[in-house]
Amino acid sequence: MQTVNIHEAKTHLSRLIEEVAAGDEVVIAKAGKPVVRIVPFAKPKPPRRLGGLLGKIRTADDFDAPLPDDLLAAFEGR
């Protein structure tokens, strides 16, 4: 991560943008104190579409039926 002051950032903006596009981060400081951080642009993820697996997954009719006693005992450590 590189830190530059505002004047240097204005003078070398094109070079700094190229460095950020290559994956680096640049911090711009004012009077030696960090003010902003320039990072590569991340493409936003597309919104999730509800119902995308409709008809592709089947839930058994006895999905929520109680477990057999021996299997329940194994889960409970008995």
Q: What is the CATH number of domain 2-38?
A: 3.40.1620
Q: How far is CA 62 from CA 11, 13, 15, 21, 70, in A?
A: 69, 64, 63, 54, 18
What pLDDT does 12 receive? 95
Q: Which two tokens stand for residue 34?
A: 């960090």
What pLDDT does 36 receive? 96
- Per-residue pLDDT tens, the chain, 78 aa: give them: 899 999 999 999 999 999 999 999 999 999 999 999 999 988 899 998 898 888 999 999 999 999 899 999 999 988
H or E, element range at 33: strand 33-38
Domain boundaries, the chain: 2-38
What pLDDT does 37 receive? 96
